[in-house]
Structure 1
Amino acid sequence: MDQLFKDKVAIITGAGIGIGFEIARQLTQRGASVVLNDIDEKVAKQAADTITKEGGKCVPFAGDSSTLETIQGLIGKAVSVYGRLDMAIANAGITTFGKFLDYQVESFQQICAVNLQGTFFLAQQAALQFIKQKSEGRILLMSSVTGHQYHPDLAAYGMSKAAIQFMAKTLGAELGPKQITVNAISPGATITERTLALDENYMDMWNSITPTGRAATVQDIANAALFLLSPNSGQITGQTLVVDGGWTAVSPPP
């Protein structure tokens, strides 16, 4: 396998399972060293151990990525263990379903803390580290097709993901002169442990309403992520790449 990311160092939040784990795994397979975050210490350690057993360089860092303390600790871990930071992936996020008229303040505050506050300050602290190193850097944010199109019972979640697209746009412009790119990915329906646990019919349902005839895999999303993190995307910033098998073109609700 190519060593496109040889000597590069990445941090990834919410990467114990699913999309984040696959991004971490693919980065290490291509030469990167990764600090893998998950809120669950056991899950973070198991994920890092799995990657290490496959020959990758990966260490765990447990903590709530919505807090500045965890974000700074995560960056500090990357610098202390691997000597630098080159890439920051704000993958952590939560989904809360609820009718708009019944939605509760506590759920709203939680979704804003994880999806927005955590993403915003991870980008800020990573950018400060890149500037301190006097190096270029890559920041990748995780949006969703629900930030582009209507989806039932996801008003607050979709709003948070739409905000992340604007975050990528404005930070891409602001940090471009410092040779730091900021982009986002909007995954469509993706087969993960979490989505299958939510609905046992998830795969069949989304396969039937996605133009390509299948829901995305974590590998599909990771492939897009690695492109935006790679040297091949140096002139791309402030953008959001939709990876959804064409669903946003037609947008039938599930």
Structure 2
Amino acid sequence: MITNKFSGQVAIVTGAGQGIGFEIAKQLSVAGASVLLNDLSKELATQAADAINSMGGNCYPIHGDASNIDFIQQMIDEAVQRYGKLTIAIANAGITLFGDFLNYPAQSLQSVMNLNLQGSFFLAQRAARQIVKQKSGGSILFMSSVTGHQAHQDLAAYGMTKAALEMLAKSLVVELSQHQITVNTVAPGATLTERTLEDAGYQKTWARITPMGRAATVEDVANAVLFLVSPDARHITGQNLVVDGGWTAVSTSPY
């Protein structure tokens, strides 16, 4: 965990009630940042913030739909009202809806596009507006995926959105670098979370086909995120960091 590098920083982390998002929010807060923690579930958001605060962090829960543009602005306003500014925005919220391409329903596609792309795009836009107003610089980070690099069965829609986020990060370099705002992505591979561990064979399967011999932990992914939004990465922008234990180098199918 990176320590003593986020004092005075204010971050929004979406989809952070559990899993990777929670670990990111926890590490940021324990390392000195004030964190607005979002989740669609009020219960998860509250429990997560309470857990982080019990560790000595400074974290405030805000529940709502991270794909909704009005709610995104509400999060920005809440961060500024509560903490005086915003310096870091992490678009972690996303949805994975499996389905074969020939029968993939329009409703599923719209759901994936709304959260993964619209939510990320407008969080970046509204956060950037606030950071530009402050004239202080800052960091925006999108959560991508190895499925944006390698084809994965039944994830055409999801993989498409993740590849798009990496292009968005590159595109924003042109518009936001002059304001000292970095924009990067992290692409996790198989990661052990509450959701993935519901699959009894998940951990064993990915340990077998990952060159490093195990799936990632949430700490592995959060460590990469914290580096890219830290002062150590102020000259890194428009980049993607893959955290997959080498899986994309060999791309062995779990099927």
TM-score range, shorter chain: over 0.9
Is 1:91 the equivalent of 2:95?
no
- Counting matched residue pairs gives 253
- Alpha-carbon distance in 2 for matches of 1:108, 1:221: 26
> How much does 1:167 deviate?
0.7
TM-score of the two chains, using structure 2 as the length reference: 0.98
Deviations, residues 5-46 of structure 1 (Å, cap 9, x unaligned): 001100000000000000000011110000000001111000
- Alpha-carbon distance in 1 for matches of 2:173, 2:185: 10
- Alpha-carbon distance in 1 for matches of 2:172, 2:160: 18
Deviations, residues 50-77 of structure 1 (Å, cap 9, x unaligned): 0011110000000000011111111111
Report the equivalent of 2:250: 250
- Alpha-carbon distance in 2 for matches of 1:28, 1:164: 25
- Aligned residue for 1:190, secondary structure, equals coil
Report the equivalent of 2:241: 241
Report the equivalent of 2:214: 214
Letter in structure 2 aligned against 1:200: A
- Alpha-carbon distance in 2 for matches of 1:135, 1:123: 16
- Alpha-carbon distance in 2 for matches of 1:161, 1:194: 19
Is contact 1:139-1:229 (8 Å) kept?
yes
Map 1:78-117 onto structure 2 (within 5 A).
78-117=79-118
Is 1:165 the equivalent of 2:166?
yes
- Alpha-carbon distance in 1 for matches of 2:195, 2:150: 21
- Alpha-carbon distance in 1 for matches of 2:19, 2:70: 24
- Alpha-carbon distance in 1 for matches of 2:71, 2:212: 39
Q: Which runs of 4+ in 1 moved over 2 A?
A: none
- Alpha-carbon distance in 2 for matches of 1:171, 1:99: 32
Deviations, residues 194-244 of structure 1 (Å, cap 9, x unaligned): 1112x2110000000000000000000000000001000011000111010
Is contact 1:173-1:237 (8 Å) kept?
no
Letter in structure 2 aligned against 1:24: A
Report the equivalent of 2:10: 9
Is contact 1:173-1:238 (8 Å) kept?
no
TM-score of the two chains, using structure 1 as the length reference: 0.98
Deviations, residues 129-174 of structure 1 (Å, cap 9, x unaligned): 0011111010000000000001111000000100011011111232
Map 1:147-166 onto structure 2 (within 5 A).
147-166=148-167
Report the equivalent of 1:194: 195
Report the equivalent of 1:118: 119
> How much does 1:112 deviate?
0.1
- Alpha-carbon distance in 1 for matches of 2:3, 2:134: 26
Report the equivalent of 2:30: 29
Is 1:138 the equivalent of 2:114?
no
- Alpha-carbon distance in 1 for matches of 2:225, 2:3: 16
- Alpha-carbon distance in 2 for matches of 1:3, 1:28: 10
Q: Name structure 1 gaps, 5 residues minimum.
A: none
Q: Percent identity?
A: 61
RMSD in angstroms over aligned alpha carbons?
0.8
Report the equivalent of 1:68: 69
